[in-house]
Amino acid sequence: MIKKWIAGMMVLILVLTGCTSAPDDNNEEIIIPRSSADEYAVMQSFLPSPVRNYHGTYLGRYDIFEIGDRLLDKSKQHFSVNDYILQEGQILTQSLLTTLVRREADSNPQGLNPPIGSEFDTGSSSVTLSDAVIVADVVELNFLRRDGNQYRLGGISLAIVMNQSHRVVINGIERTVTISTDRLYQFGSDIGRKLESYLRTLPNVTDVPIYITLYSTLSSDSYLPGGMIGEGYFESRTGQFKTNDERWVMFPSTEATNLDIQTSAGFDALKKSLQDVLPESIGVVGKGRYIEGNLDKLDITLHMSVKTYAEVVSVTQKTVSLLDTFEKRDMLVVVSIRSLQDVVVVITRDRGQTTPTVTYLF
């Protein structure tokens, strides 16, 4: 027991100092192999993020998972799953993150939020925000690369999380002011370069490639996450930002119809076809994620109150047959069937897949 405790502490100390011992060719025990070809392997000795409690406090549930999902997926274009090991971010400590999300000041030059007493241009000539707090959080992932008999920090990915919508009082009336996406991207790219320059002053980060994304928490519905609006990859002190267009929309909705009439029509047809399966109506709602105008993921939730096992099977089989309504095959489709508060069935049609996978959860 004592030997195992000492060995565990040695691995922890090595990771915190920027590297960890690599396994021998015949001993891969410190690495958990990746579960699929497009996923990262991870360390057996998982290190939680030192700022995990901050994320849990200031990020909404929908944004927490969307930021992590998209940051990890987008990082693959720079840090190959074949060459890197995934690790929770370890560079941003609690004190460092607190410093970053505070206001810029003489005493805090690395602060990412506008200085006290400043007026923030929202992109509308008639509206500015006094003492705006734009940056809400910074989320980090690390990527380790084998170097001889050690794994060293080989890449850093970050998401700067920004508030695009603000509640203000104008002429005694409270209202919501939204920063234009172009203005938010301009501000985000400026502070992103500032963040990259500051990180270069930290130990073990000087020459490490850094990938920075810009995330807006703004969504058209409170039940939807926000989306990425920009990204930049920095290596050897060179790099630049470019815009992203990622957003979620509800189905059915006017926004969805205007954006994607074909998928909207398919969703309406699925919803109508399910109404006659059970004596009681079945509630059907959906949300879709669009990346650069292309539908990447469609989540559908069915709400019903089942009375028998056969009812669950019937609704499931009917739903599976109706998924052919969505002819687009390069998107992920996930259907959750709920009875009251419980998810009883999950139907998944992966990208490029023709036959859905059905999982009964009882």
List pLDDT tens digits, range 234-274: 998 789 999 999 999 999 999 999 999 999 999 999 999 99
Fold of 23-244: sex pheromone staph- cam373 precursor fold (3.10.570)
Alpha-helical (H) ranges within the chain are 2-16, 52-58, 61-75, 94-101, 181-199, 254-259, 261-274, 309-322
Give the span between the Cα atoms of 150 and 152, in whole angstroms.
Answer: 6
Cα-based distances in Å from 244 to 10, 136, 166, 291, 323: 42, 19, 22, 8, 29
- Residues of the chain with pLDDT > 90: what percent? 73
- pLDDT for 152 equals 93
Residue carrying structure tokens 């890449």? 155
Give the span between the Cα atoms of 185 and 313, in whole angstroms.
Answer: 47
Phi, psi of 277 (to 5 degrees): -75, -45
Residue ranges of the chain assigned to CATH 3.30.300.190: 249-360
CATH number at 249-360: 3.30.300.190
- pLDDT for 323 equals 95
90, 83 in Cβ contact below 8 A?
A: no
Residue ranges of the chain assigned to CATH 3.10.570.10: 23-244
Q: How confident is the model at residue 276 (pLDDT cuts 50, 70, 90)?
A: confident
- Each residue of 25-56: pLDDT tens digit? 443 557 888 888 899 999 888 889 999 989 87
Residue 96 CB contacts under 8 Å (≥ 6 apart), including other chains: none
Phi, psi of 110 (to 5 degrees): -85, 0
Q: How confident is the model at residue 18 (pLDDT cuts 50, 70, 90)?
A: low
For 212-230, what is the mean pLDDT? 90
For 350-358, what is the mean pLDDT? 94
SS3 for 305-329, per residue? CCCCHHHHHHHHHHHHHHHHHCCCC
Q: Residue 13 above 50 pLDDT?
A: no
Q: Residue 4 above 90 pLDDT?
A: no
Give the span between the Cα atoms of 17 and 258, in whole angstroms.
Answer: 52
DSSP letter string, 93-157: -HHHHHHHHSB-BTTBTT--BPPTT-EEE-SSTT-EEET---EEEEEEEEEEEEETTEEEEEEEE
- Each residue of 129-178: pLDDT tens digit? 999 999 999 999 999 998 888 889 999 999 999 999 998 887 888 888 99
